[in-house]
Amino acid sequence: MEIRLQKVIAGTGLASRRKAEEWIAAGRVTVNGKVVTELGTKVDPDRVHIKVDGKHISSTQPYVYLLLNKPKNVMSTLNDPGGRPTVKDFLRGISVRVFPVGRLDFDSEGLMLLTNHGDLAQTLLHPRYHVPKTYLIKIKQVVTDDHIRQLEQGVQLEDGMTSPAIVKKVKKAKLNSWLEITIREGRQHQVKRMMEAVGHPVLKLTRIKMGPLLLGDLEPGEFRYLTDREANALRELAEQKVALAEDSAQQVPRPRPKRPVSRAGWARSKKAKVV
């Protein structure tokens, strides 16, 4: 079946569709040895040889992106020296070695992204790139508008002031309230510590959103593959973050992150192994 060249390239996980279009327009893509710059070009990926910068794209292992609803009382790592259950126990049938992108506390639940796309994971996790994460939390007592304002403006924790959060009231009962809180940092136990700081300890925490990804109606313990649209949105987000950081770094010279991600595209991570 013939499909657009940029879609074939994006499907391998090398880049978002938009980035693949840039590569095509820049003459970096060949089909059967000929440079193709026409964006509408359609190809049958099973019948042609496509190269980007001289490298055969089908020789790269496809990237895998999974979205798991981590249950409560499960480690968000792949193994636990203490023998507690881990997210790996829930990835039945997955033979590719994927890594969790970020952490959730043992007693938290919700959205966890797992992937073998090492560079993408690095970018999403890097504090410099500020990917928003939204949590649905149940807290002790009914929260006051004053406390919400404090959370929105930033609260003082022992490791410094938090960046402004977005806080939405969801519901309240006599003794508890539910809030949605969106933060762009990823400090340890950050939401719990922020809520403690304003006098409302967290009783339950579920991550419901990360960048463009939504937990939706996945039950705790269930996982699914990201759709093409979601994977593409994630790659676009990461590319935008890197581009923005590079642009601002050009204006104000600053040290680069330890493992910078090339704006030119996503190199295959050497860490991603098949088991």
Residues of this chain that interact with ligand URA (CB under 6 A) are 104-105, 108, 135, 189-192, 205
Question: Using CA atoms, how far apart are residues 86 and 112, in angstroms rounded to an integer?
Answer: 12
Question: At its nearest, how many Å lie between ligand URA and the CB of residue 88?
Answer: 18
Q: Identify which of residues 48 and 155 has a Cβ nearer to ligand URA in the complex.
A: 155
Q: What ranges make up the beta strands (E) of the chain? A: 3-4, 29-31, 34-35, 42-43, 50-52, 55-56, 65-70, 99-100, 109-115, 133-140, 156-157, 160-161, 166-172, 176-183, 202-210, 213-214, 223-225
Q: Decide if 152 contacts 164 (C-beta within 8 A).
A: yes
Q: Identify which of residues 121 and 139 has a Cβ nearer to ligand URA in the complex.
A: 139
Amino acid letter, residue 66: L
212 CB neighbour count, 10 Å cutoff? 16
User: How far does Cα 30 stand from its chain's mean position?
Assistant: 30
Question: At its nearest, how many Å lie between ligand URA and the CB of residue 183?
Answer: 8
Q: Identify which of residues 104 and 136 has a Cβ nearer to ligand URA in the complex.
A: 104
Catalytic site positions: 105
Question: At its nearest, how many Å lie between ligand URA and the CB of residue 207?
Answer: 6
Query: If we measure between CA atoms, which residue out of 232, 213, 223 comes closest to residue 13?
Result: 232
H runs (alpha helix) in 64-156: 118-125, 145-153
Question: At its nearest, how many Å lie between ligand URA and the CB of residue 104?
Answer: 4
To 10 degrees, what angle do helices 228-251 and 17-25 make? Answer: 60
